[in-house]
Amino acid sequence: MNERLKEIVRSKYNEIALQSKEQNETSCCGSTACCDTMDYTIMSDDYTKLKGYNKDADLGLGCGLPTEYAEISLGDTVIDLGSGAGNDAFVARSVVGEEGKVYGLDFADAMLLKARENVAKLGFTNVEFLKGDIEDMPFKNNLADVIVSNCVLNLVPDKKKAFAEMFRVIKPGGHFCVSDIVVSGDLPDALLKDAEMYAGCVSGAIKKEEYLNIIKEAGFTSLEVRKEKEIHLPDEILLNYLSTKGLNEYRSSNVGIYSITVFGVK
């Protein structure tokens, strides 16, 4: 089951990598070959004012601005998990400078190709994009000062393994800052069972309390939710999965979908 979920995500984000942010925002996922009902940019925040922003690397796929809360310093080694086309990695590089190092990790070949094309155009020699699985990272122990991730860990089937790997890779005294999707209440079965909603970060999300407990169990301390915002899915998207009656029941329930930006220390 876990491998099937990973393949769903890999396939979807390989498709999205071939589109521009504008295409992703305006037509399915921008491709006549994949007329999706899920808008993959609906949760994203605006990066355009951030130092290090690169338009070619911004596909609008995040759900927060983790680099803004990550306390990255000059000379740090930073790992961006699920780095996509390089958006957060390039923002992080603007902070670590020439003295630091930024690694991006992704398992979608088309995303890696796009990120490597972007870094070649920018001429950075201290930003490197690697292929790998977040549940089994190709990094040595105690490598990173900081790990960031933007709307990716909710797509990882085994979140306990993912946070355990993060703990292994971060240096003692280092920290992480991730933006992710969590829920309150119970999502309708029709949303939970749909593969497209999984790849869109919704049905893969777990309850906030469970999410934070997994992080604590991995060994991280000083946990802090640095930002939280509610995500509103439009009726026209939900009606692709729910009946009108189901939509009304969902709207009147206590279910909420939230983006949280979490900070923690090893």
Q: Is the dihedral of CA 199, 257, 45, 154 positive or negative?
A: negative
**Residue pLDDT, tens place only, 39-62:** 455 566 778 788 998 888 888 778
Q: With bands split at pLDDT 50, 70 and 90, how would you rate the model's confidence at 37?
A: very low
Beta-carbon count within 10 A of 226 CB: 17
Interval 215-234: pLDDT, tens: 999 999 999 999 999 888 88
User: Residues 6 or more apart from 59 whose CB is under 8 A from it?
Assistant: 16, 17, 19, 20, 21, 24, 41, 84, 85, 87
CB count within 10 Å of CB 136 equals 10
**pLDDT of 186 over the 60 cut:** yes
User: Which amino acid is present at 176?
Assistant: F
In the prediction, which pLDDT does 104 show?
98
The predicted structure's pLDDT at residue 203:
64
Considering the entire predicted model, what is its pTM? 0.87
Q: In the predicted model, is pLDDT for residue 27 greater than 70? A: no
| DSSP codes of every residue in 118-170 | HHHHHT-SSEEEEE-BTTB-S--TT-EEEEEEES-GGG-S-HHHHHHHHHHHE
Query: Confidence class of residue 72 from pLDDT cuts 50, 70 and 90?
Result: very high
**Residues 157-174: what's their mean pLDDT?**
97
Residue of 33, 92, 79, 87 whose CA lies nearest to 62: 87
What pLDDT score was predicted for residue 134?
97
More confident site: 164 or 13: 164
CA distance 21 to 109: 18
pLDDT at 111 over 70: yes
Kindly report the CATH class assigned to 2-265: alpha beta
CA 192 to chain CA mean position, Å: 19
pLDDT tens-digit profile of 235-260?
888 888 888 998 898 888 888 888 99
Average pLDDT over residues 73-78: 98
Q: Report percent pLDDT > 70 for the chain.
A: 85
